[in-house]
Chain A
Amino acid sequence: MVSVTNTRADNYYNEKKDVLLILEKIYDPEIPVLTITEMGIVRDIRFHSDNSLEIVITPTYSGCPAMDVITFQIREALISAGYSDVKITQQLSPAWTTDEISESGKQKLKAYGIAPPDRRFSPPADGVECPLCHSANTKLISEFGSTACKALFQCLDCKEPFDYFKCH
């Protein structure tokens, strides 16, 4: 628990926590069941001496248009929460990997109908578990799917097509 002594360090910690609470409510526009914190996109929250607030994010895929939308969403959420000077910067290194998606995030992906990333299927290959009927009798249709982060599969048992979130 956070101590109630009013030190600068505690204030700093509390403020960061406040910002994090706001960021935890922002959903990925392409995968609307995951928040940007569950995706592992948020790298750092920094308060600067000129009272500006800097959010450091890391891109998932280079050309992913969701990054621009996410940047906009972060700015909008923080400004409406009263932070007037918000700066969002991108950090490329270390490169984002799907290992940064939280465990709860992976479960939510599955419930949403997207097979979560699985190191055994990197690169994507036949046999990814179908998120609908849980059969492993599945076939890779294409390594490229509806968004940069997904591959196309079909389940040979329930016959449904599904997306697999590629290991990255």
Chain B
Amino acid sequence: MNDYLLHLADTSLILSHRNSEWCGHGPVLEQDIAITNIALDLLGQARYFYQYAARLTGNTDEDKLAFLRHEREFKNLLITELPKGDWAHTVLRQYLFSQFQFFQFEKLQHHSDKELAAIAAKSLKETAYHLRWSREWVIRLGDGTEESHRRMLAALDTLWPYTHEMFRPADYELACEVNVAELEQPWKEAMAYVFQEANLPIPQHTWFQYGGKTGYHTEYLGYILAEMQYMQRAYPGATW
């Protein structure tokens, strides 16, 4: 259970961190606010999962779990740690993930573990907003100008190989009776519909990258952690 909670927490935290890099850099003010709102929601989710994990294990807390674990201990999905890229990368990543997370929380809100179910039910309402927002952007840019379409195709090339990790269960997911594999079909159906609207092809990759769930990361995660954890590493226990 603990590993599963950390996987959920790490995934939300790392995507939150990536999205927060847009703060003050969004293409227009309203969208700057939107992406940072999403970052804040994800941070809130991460906190619930870390707090619960800390209560279960004892002798730790949410801050230690976020700031004092090493790269190999992080269990986030690889797709969340990839660089934010341009706006096309950011909105497409958010859509690919939010569509998955929406289905995931829909299931989890009925999980036999009451606390996990409560966090999922709470977060689902926020994810619905992320999903709607990112889906609109995918359609707008995919079916937009020649330039925006080209950028979406490039983003799709980069991100698609990281999508299948969401549906390949880790041992700790199976142990918690969570079946992520069954979310793949509805996810694919949603993709087919939205990509058609967006005038984007469904990539026919046969190769996918895995590893994040079990702690094998891309070269990007180390840099995120270095930035995020610097203060606590340099000044242990510092608060303000």
Contacts and interface: CB of A to CB of B under 8 A. Distances in A.
Contact of B43 (A63, A96, A145, A168): A63
B45 A62 contact: yes
A42 interface: no
A158 interface: no
Listed residue (A64, A144, A145) with the most chain B CB atoms within 10 angstroms of its CB: A144
A62 B43 CA distance: 8
Given A62-B47, A63-B43, A152-B30, A92 B122 contact: yes
B133 A92 contact: no
Contacts of B39: 63
B118 A95 contact: yes
A144 B34 contact: yes
Nearest to B133: A143
Interface residues of A, number: 21
Interface in A127-168: 141-146, 148, 152, 168
Nearest to A149: B37
B33 A143 contact: no
Contacts of A113: none
A27 interface: no
Contacts of A143: 34, 129, 132-133
B180 interface: no
B40 interface: yes
Given A61-B126, A63-B43, A144 B118 contact: no
Interface in B114-151: 114-115, 117-119, 121-123, 125-126, 128-129, 132-133
A141 B132 contact: no
Interface residues on B, range: 20 to 34
Nearest to B115: A92
Nearest to A145: B33
B129 A64 contact: no
A152 B37 CA distance: 13
B132 to A, nearest CB: 6
Nearest to B126: A62
A168 B125 contact: yes
B129 A62 contact: no
Interface in A53-112: 59, 61-65, 92-96
B48 interface: yes
A92 B34 contact: no
Contacts of B40: 61, 63-65, 148
17 contacts: A61-B40, A61-B41, A63-B40, A63-B41, A63-B42, A64-B40, A64-B44, A92-B118, A92-B119, A93-B117, A93-B121, A123-B128, A142-B31, A144-B38, A148-B37, A148-B126, A152-B30
Interface of A: 59, 61-65, 92-96, 123, 141-146, 148, 152, 168
